[in-house]
Structure 1
Amino acid sequence: MSPRERRARPARGAMESLLRIVHGLQAAGIVFGALASWGVTRDWPAPTAFAVVGVLLIATMPLLRHPWGWVVSLAVQAAVASLTVFEPVWGVVALILVGLWIFCFVKARGIERQRRAAGLDPRGAPGS
């Protein structure tokens, strides 16, 4: 099968698109959180924990295309919030980032619900 004969990837739905954006923002925030925790404590578990959660955020992005992908993303949100144990100030950042995730999740559900009600494919493909 040549590259031209590959099947086109289905359109991304609102849920996948919005949660991918949030994961990217969180990964960027975690980089700065890891740098801050290293600068404050110089203790290896904190930056390592930040790095692990950052890699987890990026690694779970492809799973968001599945209908159950949001459940995996929710579990990663718990990991993002748990970093507060290593850096207490991170609690404020985590509150904002997890709040953004909740907002995007609710918004995406609403968009997909409206598309279904209109008889359209919730992923953005033309309805049949």
Structure 2
Amino acid sequence: MSPRQRPARGAMESLLRVVHGLQTAGIAFGALAVWGVTRDWPGPLAFAVVGVLLIATMPLLRHPWGWIASLVTQAAVVALTWFEPVWGVVAIVLVGLWIYCFVKARQIERQRRAQGLDPRGAPGT
């Protein structure tokens, strides 16, 4: 019995997984900073919840609608500005990176379709 092979990752899934990973690392450091500045539990807890949300949505990125779940997490990343206003600058950079990767992935997949290739990276027929 051969193990079930997973389909190749498309550009969208690959790029957004990288962004989610970077955002999770940024949020971990943000939570530490908020704890160091305020010593107030709701702030670091909110950062932790959003970090877990980012990790939890990573498997959803394999679906064609996965980017919508990722977009919702971006709203959560921006909402952390309510707990730490300086986070707004970081959120702008991180969401800007998400937008860039989203647009670039759509471009790559569109190009692959135009060349008659599978947009997810599997060998063409």
Report how far residue 127 of structure 1 moved: 1.2
Report how far residue 43 of structure 1 moved: 0.5
Match of 1:121 in 2: 118
Q: With the length of structure 2 as denominator, give the TM-score of the two structures.
A: 0.99
Q: With the length of structure 1 as denominator, give the TM-score of the two structures.
A: 0.96
CA distance in 2, matches of 1:59, 1:75: 12
SS at match of 1:19: helix
Match of 1:101 in 2: 98
Match of 1:71 in 2: 68
Report how far residue 74 of structure 1 moved: 0.1
Q: Which runs of 5+ in 2 are unaligned?
A: none
Q: Which runs of 5+ in 1 are unaligned?
A: none
CA distance in 2, matches of 1:126, 1:61: 24
CA distance in 1, matches of 2:124, 2:23: 34
User: For residues 3-14 of structure 1, what are the structure 2 equivalents within 5 Å?
Assistant: 5-14=2-11
CA distance in 2, matches of 1:70, 1:110: 15
Runs of at least 4 residues off by over 2 Å: none
Question: Does 1:82 find its partner at 2:92?
Answer: no
Which deviations, in whole Å up to 9, do the C-alpha atoms of 1:76-95 show, x marking residues without a partner? 00000000000000000000
The number of residues matched between the two structures is: 125
Which deviations, in whole Å up to 9, do the C-alpha atoms of 1:32-90 show, x marking residues without a partner? 00000000000000000000000000011000000000000000000000000000000
Identity of aligned residues (%): 82
